[in-house]
Structure 1
Amino acid sequence: MYLTFPITKILFHIMNYIKYLKNDIPASIVVFFVALPLCLGIALASGAPLFSGLIAGIIGGIVVGALSGSQIGVSGPAAGLAAIVFTAIGTLGGFENFLVAVVLGGAIQILFGVLRAGIIGYYFPSSVIKGMLTGIGIIIILKQIPHFFGYDADPEGDWAFFQVDGENTFSEILNAINAISPGATIIAIIGMAILILWDRVLTKKAKIFQLIQGPLVAVVVGIVFYVLTKDTQLFAISKEHLVSVPVPEDVDSFIAQFSFPNFSVIGNPEIWITAFTIALVASLETLLCVEATDKLDPDKRVTPTNRELLAQGAGNVISGFIGGLPITQVIVRSSANIQSGGKTKVSAIVHGFFLLISIIIIPTLLNKIPLSVLAAILFLVGYKLAKPALFKKMYLLGWKQFVPFMVTVVGIVFTDLLIGISLGLGVGIVVILIKSYQNSHFLHIEETDNGMDIIKMTLAEEVTFFNKGAILKELDRLSEGTYLTLDVSKTTYLDNDIIEILEDFSQKAKNRDITIKLISQRGTVENPESYIDFFNLNPKKVKPV
């Protein structure tokens, strides 16, 4: 009996994976073509060997994909860690020393998972998560414009607004417009037309167009275009605007591309500081991505976050051991997976195998893919993340949703992912404080009799120290001789700070001839001698008698 249940469950999952192969295989191809240049670009932006980015992509797909509880998330090297990696390699004295920090960072992430720290991701407001998705969508579009026109040789991983070469996002776009490459631009436009035609028309006409995805067709057409025009003067695409995968000459040269950590430096405090930084930033970026991808998932599945931290930690330990960059779940590849119809983790795992097979068997063919075609694919991914309709929707939800959303978007576009999220979260907290301040109480003047104001103050359901200022302000404004009815009958949480304010005010009220009538779940009393005694010294809940 006890063996039957797990076997039945395993068979159910296997049948489910087989059922959705028709969705997952085409999606994995799209994710592969999106991931390949990103792995190389992020490695270049990180100042690391290009092969290290491919290792991280392979491990993120196969290992993390298999261990993760997410059905649609895709992991790999993350742009958000590029600056940390770039600095750490120089500070720690070389790439092999840095790999020790990656291994230790993965071990710390495993510890985070064991300690059930995955719940942290649920404390980020929905407006900030949507702002993160939108900001990344805008960055994807802006960063791919130069590639679309065949101008910019900067890596896709260079996501920062102000770039290491002295340029910024907008100056690169202007440079691209002033120096358009005809061949790259033409094939990018053709690729975009194929993608739109496939998405809007052909997929609705026949099932064959659902199995053979538009991005794959666009890439094949791009390779054919490059081969046919490479010897022409006008339409030839230069090598710096093609995918660049390392091409090993033999088995020994392939193995030589792997690097291994130098554990002799494990006692260096800087190694441990870098490891903890990687673990913290990678975990936070992963948890935010999990929250975002779960919102994008058409089936609305919920990813177990603690299991995700365990999977990411295991992936980073393995990646660091064989010379790979740090890994996180990444929104660009995850959203590409979702938009391409991926249904299960098979898509992420197969994309990892495609990366592995491609660098072994067909690196020369991959190096014929124009970056402008990949830019066209990423354009549509970015547009689906940052649709204009979303801005209108967030605006209609009111300023409490729109302001944190916009701050997050602008912060991500003009700084980086973590700073933008931090700014959005900070504004979200300020909004909460403002609304908490405003909603702490309701004040109503009922009548005036013989010069005496009869005022009723009703406290909210939950009153914390955030509300101290608002309540104290209203109490101090009461005139002499006022009859105050203080109603806390609906209050389920009353902070001790508020009780102390009421205790102090009762002394002032005697001097100002203010009568206080207290109404609560415990009963009604006029001018109670001690508010602290009345609430049993227990601010947790006002319990009925």
Structure 2
Amino acid sequence: MFKTIKNDLPASIVVFFVALPLCLGIALASGAPLFSGLIAGIIGGIVVGSLSGSKIGVSGPAAGLAAIVLTAIGTLGGYQNFLVAVVLGGIIQLLFGVLRAGVIGYYFPSSVIKGMLTGIGIIIILKQIPHFFGYDANPEGDFAFFQVDGENTFSDLFKTLKYITPGSALIGIMGLGILILWEKVLTKKAKIFKLIQGPLVAVVVGIIFYAITKSNDTLAIAQSHLVTVPIPEDTSSFFAQFSFPNFSVITKPEIWIVAFTIALVASLETLLCVEATDKLDPHKNVTPTNRELLAQGTGNILSGLIGGLPITQVIVRSSANIQSGGVSKMSAIIHGFFLLISVIVIPKLLNMIPLSVLAAILLVVGYKLAKPKLFKQMYDLGWKQSVPFTVTVLGIVFIDLLYGIGLGLGVGIIVILLKSYQNSHFLHIEDKSNGKHKIKMSFAEEVTFFNKGAILKELDSLPRDTYLELNLMNTRYLDNDVIEILEDFAVKAKERHIDIKLVSKRGVVENPESFIEFFRTRPKSNLSLS
């Protein structure tokens, strides 16, 4: 892993600057202590990063769990009771890993995964525009369309026009300019600009700007527009920030319900992020999903034991890691150490970083996830790809991450059913002789109950005095529901003067009685016709 440190160290710095405000913002949106978000970020980086099989995935507190955490803290009677559910949720995730439930992630269509990435990119852009201009009414972790304060994403954008802070807007624009200049021009000029990352320079410039202008009435940046890391006065006050679970409530049913909810949602978000991250990875590494569940479960157990929020793999941090050149898991691990060292050693310096500079970094991340050319690519692939993609994007932007993914998956399933309905068979009219239509119907390799309607419709539409050849040579599986339709049709065929010839690997059948007997004597184990 240390062989790639020249790539991983700069990337870890970028991920650190992306993760820091998100850890604090998600804790704020969750109604939890601010320090709990940092604990989750540290454990997600160091512990989960070490145990995970993902080379470029980064874990930490997730915005998708903020609403669940906020509700659970209230219903369970306090944060310490909630921590018990986090620990149990981690244990359940370990069980998921042992039972090899990680395979679930592979059953999500590519169009839905791409829609998820694009939707998250759009959400990042929309949510960071207010911070970019110095309007910071909502926490960074509030990624839902309808927010905890009763506002929504677009109402915040309109409010931003009334509350632009000149200092924040100016340094935000300067930071964005540095990032674009660094990536498009300077990194191509000399190796030094690849080693020293643009986001680090933008953050340093932001701190200098704040220090120079804090006495200027026009350009001064208020404390509310800066990063806010808890500053302990001494060692004892630092350790006092940790919370510990109240295991006396472990027998309460509601604790277990919340624990299972956390385990299920966190595992699903992680598996989807793993799938999406692997698609973004330029080296196309494949993450072992069951190992990832074991790593996430271990991280959640430790996080819950010392007062941290639930952890998942997070696409925002993971994509920032990939875009910054991260190659191995060292970037995730080092970013965790940066979080740990920074909150102990330099919290005052961190609190001089303008949020608008961090917003500029996230705007670049969001744009790379939701590039306009991707929409054209999906459109060119046809409606079977573009419709689930679009539904996923709209669902994530206007409702919520999991709702959007669920809607996209639902549309994807409908598309599959529709194509299965259409592709179960095809008709071929060969010629017309002796007063009879000669029609050949070839069945697909697998024909299930989804195809009942299409097959029944075609058989019922056959005219009288037809010669029908049913070709089952390529059919390996025929559902019992379809077999019943064919048996019924064999009886109807005599009344309609339809002659049937059935061709399969088991032989040729040409009269209705033998036709029915053919299916009754088929192998019962798998309905195979071979």
TM-score band by shorter chain is over 0.9
- Aligned counterparts of 1:276 and 1:151: Cα–Cα separation in 2: 37
**Which residues of 2 match residues 412-491 of structure 1 at below 5 A?**
412-491=396-475
> Hey, what does 1:354 align to over in structure 2?
338
Hey, what does 1:345 align to over in structure 2? 329
Aligned-partner Cα distance in 1 for 2:464–2:133: 75
CA distance in 2, matches of 1:468, 1:164: 48
Quick one: which of 279, 293, 307 aligns to 1:323? 307
Partner Cα separation in structure 2 for residue 328 and residue 213 of structure 1: 26
Aligned residues: 527
Q: Which of 351, 362, 378 pairs up with 1:367?
A: 351
Question: Counterpart of 1:530 in 2: which secondary structure?
Answer: helix
For residues 471-507 of structure 1, the C-alpha deviation after alignment (integer angstroms, 9 at most, x for no partner) is 0111111222221111111112212221121111111
Please give the residue correspondences for 1:167-186 in structure 2 after superposition, counting only pairs within 5 Å: 167-186=151-170
Q: CA separation in 1, counterparts of 2:83 and 2:149?
A: 26
Partner of residue 392, structure 1: 376
Q: How does 1:174-253 map to 2 (within 5 A)?
A: 174-253=158-237
Residue 499 (1) aligns with residue 499 (2): no
* SS class of match (2:161): helix
- TM-score of the two chains, using structure 1 as the length reference: 0.95
- The amino acid of 1:167's aligned partner reads E
- Residues 111-130 of structure 1 correspond to what in structure 2 (within 5 A)? 111-130=95-114
* Aligned mates of 1:471, 1:461 — CA distance in 2: 14
Deviates more, 1:495-504 or 1:241-250: 495-504
| Counterpart Cα distance in 2 of 1:329 and 1:538 | 42
Tell me, in whole angstroms, the C-alpha distance in 1 between the residues paired with 2:438 and 2:5. Answer: 72
- AA matched with 2:519: I
> Is the contact made by 1:137 and 1:381 (CA closer than 8 Å) also made in structure 2?
yes
Structure 1, unpaired ranges of 5+: 1-16
Report sequence identity in percent.
77
- Which residue is 2:36 aligned to? 52
Distance 1:384 1:420 in 2: 20
- Please tell me whether residue 542 in structure 1 is matched to residue 526 in structure 2: no
Further displaced range: 157-166 or 395-404:
157-166
Contact 1:316 1:327 in 2 (8 A): yes
Displacement after TM superposition at 1:541 (Å):
2.5
Given that residues 31 and 336 in structure 1 are in contact (C-alpha distance below 8 angstroms), is that contact kept between their aligned partners in structure 2?
yes
**Counterpart position of 1:333:** 317
Query: SS at the partner of 1:70?
Result: coil
How far apart in 2 are the matches of 1:363 and 1:204? 34
Aligned to 1:520: 504
Q: Measure, in 2, the Cα distance between the counterparts of 1:142 and 1:250.
A: 39
CA RMSD of aligned residues (A): 1.0
**Structure 2 CA distance, aligned partners of 1:249 and 1:361?**
12
State which drifts further: 118-127 or 454-463: 454-463
Higher mean alpha-carbon deviation, 280-289 vs 530-539, is at: 530-539
Q: Which residue of 2 aligns with 1:271?
A: 255
Q: Measure, in 2, the Cα distance between the counterparts of 1:29 and 1:195.
A: 14
Secondary structure of 1:20's counterpart equals helix
Q: Per-residue deviation at 1:514?
A: 1.5
Q: Choose from 286, 303, 312 the match for 2:296.
A: 312
Cα drift, residue 540 of structure 1: 4.0
Alpha-carbon offset, residue 535 of structure 1: 3.0
Shift of 1:515: 1.1
Q: Give 1:429 shift.
A: 0.1
Which one is further off, 533-542 or 298-307? Answer: 533-542
Distance 1:514 1:398 in 2: 39
Match of 1:406 in 2: 390
Is the aligned partner of 1:88 residue 2:72? yes
SS in 2 for 1:69: coil
- 1:130-160 per-residue CA deviation (whole Å, 9 max, x = no partner) reads 0000000000000000001001231110111
1:530 aligns with 2:508: no
Distance 1:529 1:147 in 2: 72
Superposed structure 1 runs of 4+ greater than 4 Å apart: none
**Which amino acid counterpart does residue 343 of structure 1 have in structure 2?**
V
Contact (CA 8 Å) 1:499, 1:531: kept in 2 or not? Answer: no
Partner Cα separation in structure 2 for residue 504 and residue 536 of structure 1 = 20
Check if 1:160 corresponds to 2:144: yes
The aligned amino acid for 1:230 is: K
Partners of 1:454 and 1:217 in 2: how far apart? 76
Secondary structure of residue in 2 paired with 1:519: strand
Alignment pair present for 1:70 and 2:54:
yes
Unaligned runs of 5+ in 2: none
Local SS of the residue matching 1:178:
coil
**2:2/2:330 contact within 8 Å kept:** no
**Contact persistence 1:496–1:539 (CA under 8 A):** no
TM-score of the superposition, structure 2-length normalised? Answer: 0.98
- Which stretch shifts more, 339-348 or 481-490? 481-490
Report the alpha carbon displacement of residue 180 of structure 1 after superposing the two structures with TM.
1.1
Between 533-542 and 513-522, the greater mean CA deviation after superposition: 533-542
Q: Does the 8 Å contact 2:429/2:438 carry over to 1?
A: yes
Q: Distance in 2 between matches of 1:27 and 1:411?
A: 31
